[in-house]
Amino acid sequence: MSENTTSRPRPELGGNLLGPKPTFLPDELDRPVRDREGDDPKKVAADHPTSPLAWALLAQESSADGDTIEAYAFARVGYHRGLDALRRAGWRGQGEVPASHEPNRGFLLCLLHLARAAEAIGETGEVERLRDFIAESDPSLSDATTLAP
């Protein structure tokens, strides 16, 4: 019987075989924005620039007004603000970011708006990466077109 010479790392005994734990953003990140529903989204974003939800709402408004480039830019800012917040919450570049956790929704909305705007301007590669990111973040969103903030 031939011996397998390919060395594969073995999982550590007692190690996590399921992958990284889900990441939950802190409530205080988007709560001030949710508390100001109905206010001018630009004023809200200016007052709370680290909130992904503030940027998602600006992207949503721009998209509804037919300004795809502005929607793309706002969603991109929110995406980066969300990545910063995820890293502070312990996220290491992979794992779920469940939509069932309300504070995660601002970031996830940015992903959805960014994917839509990227598709509208023909950024095919970016659309594919964003769809993969959305599906990895929360598999229930892989076919989502909307997500309530």
Percent of the chain whose pLDDT exceeds 90: 79
What tens digit of pLDDT does each residue of 17-34 get? 678 899 999 999 999 999
pTM above 0.95, yes or no: no
**Predicted local distance difference test score (pLDDT) of residue 143:** 66
What tens digit of pLDDT does each residue of 54-74 get? 999 999 999 999 999 999 999
Q: Which two tokens stand for residue 139?
A: 């598999």
**Predicted local distance difference test score (pLDDT) of residue 19:** 80
More confident position, 142 or 21: 21
Question: What confidence tier does 8 reach under pLDDT thresholds 50, 70, 90?
Answer: very low
In the block, tokens 């794992």 appear at: 95
